[in-house]
Structure 1
Amino acid sequence: MLEILLCSLLTILPDYLYRRYGQGKRIGHEITLYSVWFELRWGIITCLMLAVGLITVIFYNHPSTTNATLFFRTVPIVPETNGRVAEIHARQGEKIAQGAPIFRLDSVKQEAAVETARRKIAEVDAALIVARVDIQTNEAKIQEARSALEQALDELRTKQELKARNSGTVTDREIERLENLVAGRQAAVAATVAARESAQTRISALLPAEKASAEAALAQAEIEVAKTVIRAGVAGHIEQFALRVGDVVNPFMRPAGILIPEDAGRKALQAGFNQVEAQVLKVGMIAEVTCLSKPWTIIPMVVTDVQDFIAAGQFRGGEQLIDAQQVRAPGTILAFLEPLYEGGLEGVVPGSSCIANAYTSNHDRIASGKLGAAHSVALHAVDAVGLVHALLLRIQATVLPIKLLVFSGH
């Protein structure tokens, strides 16, 4: 309507002035309700054509959408393991800090695993003490075996020396017996040395490895105990939290509630613009929004990102071919808008529906001096008609609350 009024000042009004003062025709006499179309046909047709062209220029170069929302993601409150609720630390609607406990699951089984791991560590420590004692025992046995070996060797050497002197007092049977005795004493020394080395290996390799495994099992068991206390991953508000002691929660099917981060939906606004404006929307464009939760307010914004894909074209691989006819509604170009000034979204409720305008600026292209005069004038006109869109947004911001509260029947 505003575009038609503006265009009528350049078309219908001059046509009427010519009819009135050039041809002497007056409203109510020659120009009536029945003859106005014939008398002002040139002005009316030109007005409609100019209005259509102006509306096209405005809406193409200065995109507008009512599909703008402060989307935010919620965090489900779920444990990492199944369990029965033993204690509840938070309440519905409560504001909670990051890392604060929300509820605790029954941890009898996990605490038993912790105690078992601790007992295993104590058992390994005791085995280390026993192994050190075994080393001392083996050292003593080695000394005893070596003494017995030396004694047997001395006796064998003595008998062999007597035998070498052709003494008839030493028989071959005696020499053989002593040699067997020496071999047995050497085997005894080797056995005691091997026993000592075995004990040393247990102390240096086996028992430390067993202790490390036991400590790892203890750490894992303590982690499992820690998992029974569900904490807030981010600071925020707890909603839909109706948990009671004795309830069974499941990480896949039964979440305990929802945690809404405190900064959710307060940094950026997502707006879906028509696909035809894909070539116009650019990062850095100035925009304005008005939201239902903060009526009669225009918030300056800036386009910080434009999504390169349209959600309507996505598909999930399956056993059936995708038919393009299944895409019923054309998707939109998703643009991310952030406040131009700090605190711009203050007071706007996350999830609120908004109306957004984005404005094309050709100032840099015009100031570059690389364009012709006609091209520069055309771009000046394109930038100037953005004022009409800004005025329309302010009219919408003024009328929208009244429309919803008075004329919607709610």
Structure 2
Amino acid sequence: MLEIILCSLVTVLPDYLYRRYWQGKRIGKEITLYSVWFELRFGIIGCLMLTVALITMIFYYHPSTTSATLYYRTVPIVPEVAGRVAAVNVELSATVKQGDVLFRLDSAKQEAALLTAKRKIAEVDAAMLSAQADIMKAEGQLQEAKGALQQAQDELDTKSELQRRNPGIVPQRDIEKLGVAVAGRQGSLDAATAAKQSATIRLTALLPAEKASAEAALAEAQVDLDKTFIRAGVDGRVEQFGLRPGDIVNPMIRSAGVLIPQGAGRIALAAGFGQIEAQVMRVGMVAEATCISKPWTIIPMVVTQVQDYIAAGQFRGGEQLIDAQNTVRPGTILVFMEPIYKGGLDGVTPGSSCVANAYTSNHERIASGKVGAFKSFALHVVDATGLVHAILLRIQAVLLPIKTLVLSGH
């Protein structure tokens, strides 16, 4: 309607003024309700053609969309293990900090495993004390074996020397017995040495390895016990948290709830523009938006990202071939817009539906002097028509609460 009014000012109105003051035709006389078309046909045709051209230019170079939403990411509250809820620490709706315990699962099994691991470490510590005693015992046996061997060797050497000096004074049988005794004492010494080495290896290598394994089992049991305490991963707010003691939660089937991170949905506005505007949308374009949750407010914004893919064309590999006619609705160009001024989205509820406009600016091209006079004038016209869309957005902002509350029939 606004475009028709503007176009009529330069088409229908001059046509009427020409016929009224140049040709002398008067309303109600020569210009009647039945002769309007014949008398003002040039102005009406020009108005319609100019209106269509103006609307096409405005909506192409200054695109608008009602598919704009403050999307926000939610974090599912999912335990790493399945179990029965033992206690819930937050209400149905609550603000939480990172690390706060949201709820706790039944941990009897994990506590038993933790206690078993602690007892195993205590058992290994006791075994290390026993191994130290075994080393001391082996040391004493080693000293005893050394003494017995030395005594037997000295006696053998003495009698062998006597036999050498005075053959026949010492029976040969005694010398042989002493040789056998020395060999036996040497075997006892080797056995005592081996026993000491075995006790030493058990104390310095085997038992420390067993203790390390027990400590690893203790750490694993502690991790399993910690998994029964489900904590908030980020600062945020828990909403509609209806979990209660006795409920069963399973990470593969059922999550416990959702956590909305702090500041989610308060950074950027995601808007879907028609595919025909793919060549127009650029990063850095000035934009405006008005949202239902914050009526009668125009939020200055800027385009920060233009998604280079249309979601309607995505597919997953499978056993079925793609049929193009199954894509019923054409996808949109997803554009992310952020407020120009800090706190621009304050007061806008995340998830709110919005209406957004983006405006093409050719100021830099015109100021560069690289375009001709006619093209420069055309670019000025394109930029100037953005005012019409800005006016339309403000009209929408004024009428949006009325349309929602009165004309929607609710």
For Structure 1 versus Structure 2, the TM-score category normalised by the shorter chain is over 0.9
Specify the alignment match of 1:359 in structure 2.
359
Residue aligning to 1:397: 397
Give distance in 2, aligned partners of 1:338 and 1:54: 29
Equivalent AA in structure 2 for residue 251 of structure 1: P
SS at match of 2:65: strand
TM-superposed deviation, 1:55: 1.2
Q: Counterpart of 2:209 in structure 1: which amino acid?
A: A
Report the counterpart of residue 96 of structure 1 in structure 2.
Answer: 96
Matches within 5 A, 1:24-173: 24-165=24-165, 167-173=167-173
Q: Which amino acid aligns with 1:203?
A: L
- Once the two structures are superposed, residues 112-153 of structure 1 have per-residue CA deviations (whole angstroms, 9 ceiling, x without a partner) of 111111111111111111111111111111111111111122
* Offset at residue 173 of structure 1 (A): 4.3
Give the whole-Å Cα distance in 2 for the aligned partners of 1:174 and 1:360.
121
Change (3 A) 1:408 1:161: same
Secondary structure of the 1:164 match is helix
1:182 aligns with 2:146: no
In the TM superposition, residue 169 of structure 1 has moved relative to its aligned partner by: 4.0
Separation (CA, whole Å) in 1 of partners of 2:59 and 2:281:
12
Cα distance in 1, alignment partners of residues 172 and 280 from structure 2: 116
Q: CA deviation at 1:163?
A: 3.6
What are structure 2's unaligned runs of at least 5 residues? none
**What is the aligned partner in structure 2 of residue 325 from structure 1?**
325
Residue in 1 aligned with 2:232?
232
CA distance in 2, matches of 1:284, 1:164: 114
Query: Structure 2 length normalisation: TM-score?
Result: 0.96
C-alpha distance in 1, partners of 2:186/2:218? 46
SS of the residue aligned with 2:218? Answer: helix
State yes or no: 1:255 paired with 2:255.
Answer: yes
Cα displacement (A) at 1:22: 2.0
Alpha-carbon distance, 1:164 to partner: 3.0
Distance in 1 (alpha carbons) for counterparts of 2:198 and 2:173: 37
1:407 partner letter: L
Q: Which moved more, 1:155-164 or 1:6-15?
A: 155-164
**Using the alignment, how far apart are the partners of 1:202 and 1:361 within structure 2?**
82
Indicate the larger mover: 180-189 or 353-362. 180-189
Letter in 1 for 2:391: L
Deviations 1:33-64 (A, max 9, x none): 22222222221112111111111111111111
Residues 1:202 and 2:209 are matched in the alignment: no
- Aligned partners of 2:52, 2:359: CA distance in 1, in Å? 19
Which residue pairs with 1:264 in the alignment? Answer: 264
| Whole-Å separation in 2 of the counterparts to 1:217 and 1:44 | 89
Of the structure 1 ranges 31-40 and 313-322, higher mean CA displacement relative to structure 2 is found in 31-40
**Distance in structure 1 (CA, Å) of the matches to 2:159 and 2:38:** 153
Q: CA deviation at 1:83?
A: 1.3
Once the two structures are TM-superposed, the CA of residue 171 in structure 1 deviates from its matched residue by: 4.7
1:147-200 CA-to-partner distances (Å, cap 9, x unmatched) read 111112222222332343462244554444333322222222222112212222
C-alpha distance in structure 2 between counterparts of 1:126 and 1:76, whole Å: 46
Aligned counterparts of 1:192 and 1:369: Cα–Cα separation in 2: 103
User: Take 2:173 and 2:355, find their aligned partners in 1: how far apart are those partners?
Assistant: 117
Point out the more displaced range, 218-227 or 347-356: 218-227
Shift of 1:251: 1.6
Q: Which residue of 1 aligns with 2:219?
A: 219
Alpha-carbon deviations, 1:371-407, whole Å to 9, x = none? 2222222211111111111000001111111112111
Task: State the shift of 1:244 in Å.
Answer: 2.1
Identity of aligned residues (%): 69
What SS class does the counterpart of residue 16 from structure 1 fall into? helix
- Aligned-pair CA distance for 1:97: 2.2
1:16 matched to 2:16: yes
| Aligned residue pair count | 410
Cα deviation, 1:193-220, whole Å, max 9, x if unaligned, reads 1221222222222211211111121112
Q: CA deviation at 1:254?
A: 2.4
What is the alpha-carbon distance in structure 2 between the residues aligned to residue 8 and residue 172 of structure 1?
146
Letter of the structure 1 residue corresponding to residue 273 of structure 2? F
Structure 2: how far apart are the matches of 1:153 and 1:231? 75
Q: Distance in 2 between matches of 1:226 and 1:311?
A: 40
Stretches of structure 1 that go unaligned for 5 or more consecutive residues are: none
- After TM superposition, list the pairs within 5 Å mapping 1:285-324 onto structure 2: 285-324=285-324
Q: Structure 2: how far apart are the matches of 1:115 and 1:71?
A: 47
Aligned amino acid, residue 377 of structure 1: F
- Identify the residue that residue 368 of structure 2 maps to in structure 1: 368
Q: Distance in 2 between matches of 1:11 and 1:31?
A: 17
Q: C-alpha separation between the residues in 1 aligned to 2:219 and 2:281?
A: 54
TM-score with structure 1 length normalisation? Answer: 0.96
Structure 2 Cα separation of the partners of residues 195 and 208 of structure 1: 19
- For 1:224, the aligned partner's letter is D
